[in-house]
Amino acid sequence: MKIKFTLFTAFLFCQISFAQEKDTTAVNKLSEVVVTGQLEPQSIKKSVFNVRVISQETIKQLAANNLSDVLNQYLNITVKTSGEDGRSTVSMFGLDSQYFKILVDNIPLVSDTGMGTNVDLTQVNLDDVDHIEIIEGSMGVTHGANAVSGVLNIITKKGGGYKWQISATVQEETVGNEYALFDKGRHIQAAKIAHNFNDNWFVNVGGNRNDFAGYYDNRKGADYNKNDGLRGYTQLPKEQLVGNAMLGYKKNDFRIFYKFDYYGENVDYYNPTLIPQDNYPFPETYFSNDRRYITNRYYHHLNSNGKLFSKLNYNVSVSEQKQKRDVEKFNYQIEKGNEFDNKRETYQSKEVFYSTGTLSNFFNSKKVDFQLGYEITNENGFYDATAGTFKDENQQLTDIRKRLENYDVFTVAEINLSDKFSIRPGIRYSFQSYFENQYASSLGLRYLFKRGLEARASVGKAYRTPNFDELYTYFVDSNHNLQGNPDLVPEQSTSYELSFKRSCLFDSGAQIANNLAVTYMDVDDRIDMVLTQIVPTQNYRYVNINKYKMWNISTTEQYTYKNWNVQVGAALVGISRKLDLAALNVTSDDKFLYSLRLNSSISYNIPKWNTLIALFYKYNGEQQQFIAGTDTDGSTKFFLNKISPYSWMDASIRKLFFKNQFEVTVGARNLFDITNVQTIQNGGGGSTGGAHSSGSSDLLLGYGRSYFIKLTYNLNFN
């Protein structure tokens, strides 16, 4: 009721204030240019899609180094962090990162098991980012496979307004209450040089180092020599190195750029179990079986856009990406602090050729526009997660490369029946090398009412193709039997969205903007790991068996007056899952389970002091889901699992000195000092995959309240 009342009040306030209202086209928010899913770059107001934008200003206020730092505050996104390998992935509407596509300048980013999906957010650096665009819901027509719950497109900087732009950054952060200059905390250094040779040519070169020294919590680090299980870290230490370069040329309607990115990462795991060594007559010494995860990723992107025959708009991108992840296993002698018996092997490798292109403006008309496009994806690689390997054609266990290819064509039309009413139908057909050919379709509507009220509606069908892990993993030993399934078929989804946007600008300078959206999604043939055999061993296999339904109502309101900027958002999400245990003929309840999300931000600019103060808050309500477990009588049932609610708050103060050349940002993350959130299993007295089905456990979310200071020097001159 409070959500509805707040939204109603805001709309009513706009309605009764029209006598004082200025032309809403003057509202700066509506002039933002977006590119994701568009026929050509255009303002948010003209977009048929409901595009959300995370600005460069917001990224600066959060002192964000990677995507995880930013998306923690996004309303409909949950960031999941693993203490085992340090990865952070995204979940939207209860669907994990395999359903959400992350792009860099419209190019899907390669990951361990996907192309644009299952991306580790901590591996996406934001130093070179202009802004971020997010579209929620099905985007299968314009962005192909796996764009089911939405897409996130990172738009990078290209050129600048000065002949020379030089910047250097140093950022120091605590990790919870842990900090030391080298051995504890988070230490970031970055530098960038951009140069415009003339009006046509530009070049950007940059680098970043992020040294996360790990989160000790109650653990004792690498050199702890007592065999009591306290050695190591709660969150693993990692060092990340990023390098990027861009060379671009533009003249009249012709533009071309080449972009290169390198990403390198080392993650260290220190085994808490120590192995004693005989050192007679002296006290025994210890060594441990440790390992190191090593990632190298190379990204190449060549893009050209402009006009053909002085009429047709074209945009073509060609990309090659390579990612390899190695595990280095070694023994670590505690007392001497040295490694021995090092053995390094590759457990994930992927090479991807990708190209996409569009042609539009066939009719040279403001009434009708038409776009033809293609997409080519060629993935070649393997992934065994260090737990198992793939089978070859002779059912022999081996690390064998697999190739997945698709060749897609799509078309989108944008029909402006009037200045107010637009229709956008689209369809994609995908020629698959491994699966049956797939298709996606969509229909979008936009209507501009009087007084600046915008209404949008869309329906879209999309598909998710199984990843390498689901298709080929084979992990069998005395305790486990987990197998991929080469016979899996792509999942099918349908989503619907209805949204209203309203913006009012008053003579006083105050501005109010509202955005209300209602979304419904249905996923069929959902892939899950299920129990297929009980005796003599418990066998698990990926199968197309489950269903998923979701509906979401969300609202965001933004208030701007003089130096104040306030944004408030709320979302109510209902999720229904149907889960089956094939071997036991047991099915879960498919009723809708609900969760409330709230977020807000407030900033105040003090021009006299050249200072901006910002505060960000997000509330994640109780989340529920059914999980399989064993009852007191030994029978297998589904029980309701609950994750307790929690809140996240960040704050910062940013001040500029010396004619805006020197920038200082100080602040704190996770002000409520969240580390773990309680997970409660209701009912039963047995177990759920090793956890009790009645009782509680903790889910790792973060490393507590941390503080940061960021120093940036900018030198711009012509």
For 161-179, how does the pLDDT look when each residue is reduced to its tens digit (9 = 90+)? 789 999 999 999 999 999 9
Count of structural domains, the chain: 1
What was the pLDDT predicted at 542?
Answer: 81
Question: Which H or E run contains 12?
Answer: helix 2-15
Please report which confidence band the pLDDT of residue 311 belongs to, taking 50, 70 and 90 as the band edges. confident
CA distance 218 to 186: 18
Overall average pLDDT of the 74-82 stretch: 82
Distances (CA, A) of 650 to 52, 143, 616, 670: 21, 33, 5, 6
Identify which of 161, 234, 242, 145 has the alpha carbon closest to the alpha carbon of residue 196.
161
In a domain, 46, yes or no: no
Q: Mean pLDDT score of the chain, rounded to an integer?
A: 85
The amino acid occupying position 382 is F
Residues 365-393 as b/e (b if ≥16 CB within 10 A, e otherwise) read eeeebbbebebebbbebbbbebebbbbee
What was the pLDDT predicted at 146?
Answer: 92
In a domain, 663, yes or no: yes
Please report which confidence band the pLDDT of residue 15 belongs to, taking 50, 70 and 90 as the band edges. very low
In which residue are the tokens 């993935």 written? Answer: 379
> With 90 as the cut, is the pLDDT of residue 689 above it?
no
Overall average pLDDT of the 625-645 stretch: 78
CA distance 135 to 145: 15
Q: What tens digit of pLDDT does each residue of 360-414 get?
A: 998 878 889 999 999 999 988 876 644 344 444 454 545 456 788 899 999 999 9
> With 80 as the cut, is the pLDDT of residue 30 above it?
no
What was the pLDDT predicted at 22?
Answer: 45
Overall average pLDDT of the 444-465 stretch: 93
In a domain, 582, yes or no: no
What was the pLDDT predicted at 584?
Answer: 63
Q: For residue 643, what are the domain limits? A: 591-718
CA distance 33 to 513: 17
In a domain, 51, yes or no: no
Of 81-85, 492-496, 498-502, the least confident: 81-85
What was the pLDDT predicted at 171?
Answer: 97
160's CB contacts (< 8 A; 6+ apart) are: 194, 196, 202, 716
> With 60 as the cut, is the pLDDT of residue 86 above it?
yes
347's CB contacts (< 8 A; 6+ apart) are: 325, 326, 327, 383, 384, 385, 386, 399
Please report which confidence band the pLDDT of residue 480 belongs to, taking 50, 70 and 90 as the band edges. low
In a domain, 649, yes or no: yes
In a domain, 418, yes or no: no
In a domain, 627, yes or no: yes
> With 50 as the cut, is the pLDDT of residue 316 above it?
yes
In a domain, 298, yes or no: no
pTM for this entry: 0.87
Overall average pLDDT of the 317-324 stretch: 95
Distances (CA, A) of 125 to 122, 228, 623: 7, 37, 30
Please report which confidence band the pLDDT of residue 18 belongs to, taking 50, 70 and 90 as the band edges. very low
